[in-house]
Amino acid sequence: MFNPFGYYFFQNAIAGGIIVAIVCGLVGLFLILKKEAMLGDGLSHTAFGGIALGLLLGVNPIVTALGVSILAVFAISYMRRKKIAPTDSAVAVMLALGFSTGLILISFAGGFNVDLFNYLFGSILTISTTDLLLVLGLSVFVLLFISFFRKELLSMVFCEEDARIMGIPTNKLTILFDLLIAVTIVLSIKVIGTILVVALLVIPGLCALKLDLSFKKTLLATILFSTTSTTIGIILSAIFNIVTAGFIVFILVTAFLLTLTYKKLE
C-alpha cells in the first residue's frame, strides 16, 4: 500500500490540517454557543467571491478571500446592530451576494477549472509552503486571541447584558470575534474548501457538547474531535486519492453518530 508519510507534501498537509482543525473547532464552539453556526456557512460562501476575484487579478486568493470575508462579516454585523435585518437573513443576503459575484467573475474570466475546484473543495495535499506559512500566521493570531479572552467570550455568549454590566466591552469584543470568524473561515478554505467549512466549524464542538463536560474539558474534547477527524481524513484521502474534504466530513459525521450512540448507551 502507498505510504504517504515519507513525503514533504504530506507532512505539510498534516501540519496545516491539524492547526486549522484546532482553530476551526475552537471558534466553532463559541459560534455554536452563540447560536450563529450558519454565520460560518454564509461567510465561507461569501468568501468564494473573494477567491474568484483573486484568481481573476492573479493575487493569492486567500488574501482576497480574507478581505471579502471581513467586509461581509462587518456588513452582517452592521445590519444586525442597526436592526436592518436579523442575523440569519443578513447572512443569506451576503452569502448570495458573495457567491453571485464569484459566478460573474468566473464567467467573465472564462472559467478557472482546476484552481477553482481546489478552493471549492479544499486542496490540503497540494498546500504550498507560502500558503502553509500564511495559514500558520493567521492561526497563531486566532489561537492567541482565544487563549487570552476565552473567559470574556464565554461570559458574553452566556449572557451579553450581564457581561456588559460586568465591564466587558461587548460591542468591541463582538467586532473582534466577527473578525476572528472571517479569518478562521479563510484559513480553513485550503483544507476543506468553501462549501464544507461549516462541518469543521460545527461538528467537533457539537460532539464535545454532547459529552456534558466542564468548559475546560469541552474545549479539549473539541480539539480532539477536530484534529483526529482531520488527520484521519487526510491520511485516507492520500491513500485512496479521493478529495480530502469528503473524507473529513464523513469522519466528523461518523464521530457525531458514535458520540450520540455512546450517550444513549451510557
Partner 1 sequence: MQQAMTRSILEVKGLNVTRNGTPVIENAAFTINRGDYVGIVGPNGGGKTTLLSAILGFLPHTAGSICLFGTELSKFSSWQKIAYISQQATNFEDQFPLTVRELVSLGCIKKGKLGRRFTPEDWAIVDENLDFMGLSDVANRRISQLSGGQKQRMFVAKALTHKPELILLDEPIVGVDSNAQEKFYKKLSDLNVERQITILIVTHDLTSVFCRMSKIMCINKTVEFAEITPNLDANMLLKRAYGKHFHFVYHQHNCEGVFVAEH
Using CB under 8 A, list all residues that contact partner 1: 33, 148-149, 151-152, 154-155, 158-159, 161-162, 164-169, 208-210, 212-216, 218
Nearer to partner 1, 108 or 148 (CB): 148
Q: Report the distance separating Cα 31 and Cα 33, nearest Å.
A: 5
Q: Please, what is the minimum distance in Å from the beta carbon of residue 206 to partner 1? A: 9
Q: Please, what is the minimum distance in Å from the beta carbon of residue 18 to partner 1? A: 23
Q: Which residue has the cell 487563549?
A: 147
Q: For residue 202, with 0-12 CB atoms within 10 Å meaning exposed, 13-18 middle and 19 or more buried, which class applies?
A: buried
Nearer to partner 1, 152 or 178 (CB): 152
Q: Please, what is the minimum distance in Å from the beta carbon of residue 161 to partner 1? A: 7
Nearer to partner 1, 9 or 210 (CB): 210
Q: Please, what is the minimum distance in Å from the beta carbon of residue 152 to partner 1? A: 6
Q: Report the distance separating Cα 46 and Cα 109, nearest Å.
A: 19
Q: Please, what is the minimum distance in Å from the beta carbon of residue 22 to partner 1? A: 17
At residue 194's C-alpha, the angle toward residues 225 and 73, to 5°, is 95
Q: Report the distance separating Cα 251 and Cα 235, nearest Å.
A: 12
Nearer to partner 1, 162 or 261 (CB): 162
Nearer to partner 1, 96 or 144 (CB): 144
